[in-house]
Each structure stands twice: as C-alpha cells, then as structure tokens.
Structure 1
Amino acid sequence: MTLDLGRAVLLPIDIQRGFDDPRWPKRWNPDFEANALALIADWRASGRPVIHVRHDSVQPGSPFTPGQPGNDFRPGFEPLAGEPVVSKSVNSAFIGTDLDLRLRRLGAETVVAFGISTDMCVSTTIRTGANLGWKMVLVADASDCFDLPDGQGGIIPGRAIHDAHVATLAYEFCDVVRTAELLPLANAA
C-alpha cells in the first residue's frame, strides 16, 4: 500500500473511561490499548499533529457526561499540552464540531482514525470525513468493538461486528492499515 502521511493528522476517537462501565458489553480486542498507545507515542515522536475526540454526552445518566469520571480519557490517552480536543455529542466527530475547520487550518489532507468503537463513532466519523472529501485511514487493530444483541435473543461477537465494519469502510470510505504497517510510514514521512 502506498500511503502518503506527509499532511496527515492523527484522530484518536472516544478513548474514554466510560467504556469501562459495567453497563457496556464485552469488547473483543485485547491488543487495542497497546496498539493505540504505540501509535500515539510514535506519532507524537514524529512531531505530527494529534486532535483528540471526546464524547460529551447530553443523555441523562450517561457515563460520558462532562464532570463524570467516565468522561475522562483513559490513562495514557490524555492530550498533551497543545493537542486540541474536539468535543462531540453525536457519533461523528465532524457533526456539530469545528473538526473540519481545524483540519483545514492545519493544511491536512489525510485523517488517520482509530478508537472506540469501530461500528459506531469510528465508522461514522470515517464515513462523514470521506463524504466531506478527506482522505480517511482506519487503524483497524487500534480500534475496539463490543458484543451486541442480534435482536433475536442471540449475541453477535464484537470481532464479527468489527470485521464487517472494517470491510464496509475499506470497500468505499477509507484505507485500512494495522498499527505495525503504519508506524514505519509515520516515522519515514
């Protein structure tokens, strides 16, 4: 794969403590955190821009409500000084936020996205970004997904949901990479 990261921005999406709340189903990706932390560390070391996305819920009782512990970033994922945070209250980081403007001001061409969860906020952000004309990249193994009810009394495993969304996104909306594939590109660009 030829991927130009010369004008790329890293976009960690909703890596927040609220997803550890026991109300959430089981997640599938045991390597999510290590891959995501490695990606952020290498990206920062290369001096490239990072824009963090945080879900600030407006739903009563949500663990993601501002001021609640679940709204906080997970340990190790907190923004550093100078790294902006885009606050959203819907699934897409582009809707109702200034993300598009921030990217344009940075002169970005490519958005490298990952986070929680693949099928919801990550997918919706990638789809919206692609529709707005951004070159979108999904780091699939630095994303995570939950087991979900199938509506018929069964459960669809998070891995199956993740794989289906990655396939759909790759077919029309973005390039898909793994952390190990992206790190050498980030350091070489």
Structure 2
Amino acid sequence: MTQTPITLAPRAALLVVDVQKGFDDPSFWGPRNNPAAEDNIAALMDAWRESGRPVVLVRHASQPGSVLAPDHPGHAFKDLVEKRRHESLVVTKTVNSAFYGTPDLAGWLAAEGIAQVVVAGIQTNMCVETTARMAGNLGFDVLVPLDATHTFDLAGPAGLALTADQLATATAVNLQGGGFARVVTTPELLSAASGAGGRAA
C-alpha cells in the first residue's frame, strides 16, 4: 500500500492491541475478516524481538458481561501473544485508545526515546484506528500494517451496515488520507525490520 521504502527506527515500538481470546467468540461479535491477521501479528512480534525493538501489549478491560471483562476467560491474551510476551510492557485500558490506559503509554514512549510506533491488532476500525489516530495527534511517526489487524461486520443507524472488509478499507483511507498514519503491509515491515540498515543496535 505504500510506494516508498519503509525505514524503521532502531527503537520503533510495536503496539499489539487487544489480541485477546474474547475476540474468538463469533456469537458475540459476528463475522470477521482477514483470517491471516494472527499469523501476521505473530510474525511481527517475532521480528521485533529478533531485532531488539520494544513490543507493547495492550489489553482491553470491558464492563462485566462482556467477553473482554477482567473476570471472563476472554480477557486473556491469545496464545500467540502470551507465548511471545517475554518482558513486554502491558497497558490495560477501558476505552478505545491505548493512550488512555495504565501505565501511561505516551509517558513510557517518551521516557524510552521512542518516536515511531507500529500499531497492529484488533479491531481495525475501533481500538487500532483510535490508537493510531491519537499517536499521530501526539506527533509520533505511525505505521499501521492493515493485514495484521482484523475487525467484524458492524451495523449502524437507520439500517446502515458495513462489512468487516469495508470497515478496514475505511480505516485505511481515514488513517493515510487523513494524515494520521502510513498504511503498510506486514511483508514490508518484516523486510525493514530485518534489513541491516534498520536493525536495532
């Protein structure tokens, strides 16, 4: 989706947003898109660890009754994330943006000298897009690998509805067209992460 080569900063942070078991419940969420999302997220996490770049895990804590509520098994990270967790910072939030969570993500990024973030995870048009928009507003260089995200069909007012793929397309247009972030692909990021010029010291 990009036309210029990607350069990753040595300390570019990968934000893995809400990759939790509760999103595996189709009876709660409905039809989803992009079945390759989890494999792409895992590949990015592996590449970030291999290159020594930081990974931040974001977890949503919903109200009781939700499959993402803290007292529900769905609150847990999916296995692909848990097994790659290592010493990653974990941010817990109750709203769409990872920048309104605990601990303070913006403060941590600033303290670590991080100016570039890659945002992947669930849902494309909800917490991924909101986090990417806010990161752009805060002055970060933001990259969003759309193929390392997924979402669900969604109904709106007066009978309006969009499929998950339509919502993902809208997110891509909103983020890049609106100047919040660059929409990229997982292969582009993997290539940049493994390149000699982009490898962390």
Output the amino acid matched with 1:3: I
Output the amino acid matched with 1:81: H
Q: Deviating runs (4+, > 4 A) in structure 1?
A: none
Partners of 2:132 and 2:98 lie apart in 1 by 9
Report the alpha carbon displacement of residue 154 of structure 1 after superposing the two structures with TM: 5.7
Output the amino acid matched with 1:91: N
2:48 paired residue among 43, 48, 69:
43
- TM-score when normalising by structure 1: 0.94
1:129 aligned counterpart, secondary structure: helix
Partners of 1:93 and 1:48 lie apart in 2 by 19
- Counterpart in the other structure of 2:153: 147
Report the alpha carbon displacement of residue 132 of structure 1 after superposing the two structures with TM: 1.0
- Counterpart in the other structure of 2:190: 183
2:165 aligned counterpart, secondary structure: helix
Report the alpha carbon displacement of residue 105 of structure 1 after superposing the two structures with TM: 1.6
Partners of 1:41 and 1:96 lie apart in 2 by 25
5+ residue gaps, structure 2, are: none
- Counterpart in the other structure of 2:131: 125
Report the alpha carbon displacement of residue 67 of structure 1 after superposing the two structures with TM: 3.0
- Counterpart in the other structure of 2:39: 34
Partners of 2:162 and 2:140 lie apart in 1 by 31
Q: Confirm or deny: 8 A CA contact 2:122 2:151 kept in the other structure.
A: yes
Report the alpha carbon displacement of residue 2 of structure 1 after superposing the two structures with TM: 3.8
| Cα shift readout 1:145-188 (whole Å, capped 9, x = no counterpart) | 11111434464210011001111101110011100111010112
Output the amino acid matched with 1:99: L
| Cα shift readout 1:80-135 (whole Å, capped 9, x = no counterpart) | 23111000000000024400011112111101001101110001001111111111
Partners of 1:37 and 1:11 lie apart in 2 by 12
- TM-score when normalising by structure 2: 0.89
Give aligned-pair identity as a percent.
44
Q: Confirm or deny: 8 A CA contact 2:91 2:101 kept in the other structure.
A: no
Partners of 2:165 and 2:145 lie apart in 1 by 15
Partners of 1:145 and 1:71 lie apart in 2 by 17
Partners of 1:81 and 1:74 lie apart in 2 by 14
Alignment of 1:17-166 (within 5 A): 17-21=21-25, 22-57=27-62, 59-78=63-82, 79-97=84-102, 98-153=104-159, 155-166=161-172
